[in-house]
Amino acid sequence: MPAYDRHELIQKLGVDEEQVLGIYYTSMEGSTDNRKHNIVKAMRKINGEKIKPGEIFSYNEEVGNSNLAEDNWKEAHVIVNGQLTAGYGGGICQVSSTLFNAVQEAKLPIVERHTHSKTVGYVPVGQDATVAYGLLDFRFSNPFDHTLTIKAKVFDDTNVVIAILKK
């Protein structure tokens, strides 16, 4: 994973550094257009989401069922039983994994998280969070007495950035 400048990422997100509890970056360089489409779509679905005090955020509830072509999800590689295969929504686990790492940095309680059955290249080993609608979710809670906001953006067609904000 490429190194990044935290301050530069925060500037690109256009947020106040003091509001950032956690931030993480991954690269989708080398991804197919379909995979990029799915990543951008998932990022748009979680961007701006607010988690009230005591509330649990569910990735699957926000992103929805990515296994459906009629919802404009595209076919791209997915991991099933340790094997790469074609499937709708391929790439959305990069978003859930980027979010997981931002949540980890923010030190938020993890309610549910699963790792892939095969190593992925966009996060260090063991730092991924796989999702499968109806089966595997990534969920975390807000233990604070203030609302949290997810800020999610893609920059330069390759940089996936997610921050957890205290506002």
Q: List, for residues 29-45, the tens digit of each pLDDT value.
A: 999 999 999 999 999 99
Q: List, for residues 19-31, the tens digit of each pLDDT value.
A: 999 999 999 999 9
pLDDT of residue 2: 53
Specify the higher pLDDT residue, 15 or 157: 15
- The pair of three-digit structure tokens given for residue 94, joined into one six-digit string: 């990069």
Q: Is the pTM of this model over 0.85?
A: yes
Domain boundaries, the chain: 6-165
Specify the higher pLDDT residue, 105 or 6: 105
Q: Which residue has the tokens 């809670």?
A: 141
| Lateral strand order in the sheet of 159-165 | 20-27, 159-165, 148-155, 50-51
Torsion of CA 41, 42, 48, 49, to 10 degrees: 140
